[in-house]
Structure 1
Amino acid sequence: MNKQELVDAVAAVTGESKAATAEAIDAFIDVVTATVSKGDTVQLIGFGSFGTGARAARTGRNPATGAEIQIPAAKTVKFTAGKAFKDLVNG
């Protein structure tokens, strides 16, 4: 499902216009992005939480030449599904 399909589905469920639904989804994405980029976590009980993780520096290999390269440490964005969501997916 892409963003437009999401907008269409949410608009159908809520009865709101597609424009208002798209605006609400954009606002949600903006708030989650800004919050997580500051290092905070967004928790939606029953759905999951968005947060940051850390990836340690490591040695990798250039696949073209086989030469070893250093890959620097980095912050990552992670989503952890909530229990209810996991249970629904696992049937």
Structure 2
Amino acid sequence: MNKSQFIEAISLRIGEKHSTTLSYVNAALSIISETVKNGDVVVLDDFGKFYLKKISKKTVKKANSDEQVIVPEHTKVSFTPYRNIMIFSDKYRS
């Protein structure tokens, strides 16, 4: 599902126009992005949490060569789904 399909699905579910729903979703995504960028955690009940994760410095081998490259310490945005979302994954089905 891409963003346009996502917006359409929400529009149908809540009975709002596509343009109104697009504004709501863009605002929500912007708030999540800004909050995480500032180093805070965004927790959405029954869904999951978005946060910055510190990645340690490491040495990796370049593809197709024996050259070693140092990747400096950095941060990345991570998402941890809550259990009720993960039950839909084949990995967690019994």
Q: Aligned letter for 1:50? A: F
Give structure 2 stretches of 5+ with no counterpart. none
Distance of 1:56 and 1:39 partners within structure 2: 17
1:76: Cα distance to partner?
Answer: 1.0
Whole-Å separation in 1 of the counterparts to 2:70 and 2:84: 40
Q: Residues 34 and 66 from structure 1, CA distance in 2 versus in 1: closer, same or farther, beyond 3 angstroms?
A: same
State the 1:31 CA deviation.
0.1
TM-score, normalization by structure 1: 0.92
Deviation string, structure 1 residues 30-74 (Cα, Å, up to 9, x no partner): 000000000000101111011111111001112233211111111
Could you tell me how far apart the structure 2 residues matched to 1:87 and 1:67 are?
A: 42
User: Hey, what's the Cα distance between the residues in 2 that align with 1:71 and 1:88?
Assistant: 35
Structure 1 runs of 4+ with >4 Å offset: none
What's the counterpart of residue 3 of structure 1? 3
Normalising by the residue count of structure 2, what TM-score does the alignment of the two structures yield?
0.89
For 2:59, the aligned partner's letter is: T
Query: Could you say which residue in structure 2 is the equivalent of 1:45?
Result: 45
Q: How many residues align?
A: 91
RMSD: 1.3
Q: Secondary structure at the match of 2:22?
A: helix
How far did 1:88 drift? 4.1
CA distance in structure 2 between the partners assigned to 1:61 and 1:86 by the alignment:
33
Match of 2:77 in 1: 77
Unaligned ranges ≥5, structure 1: none
1:12-91 → structure 2 map (5 Å cutoff): 12-89=12-89, 90=92
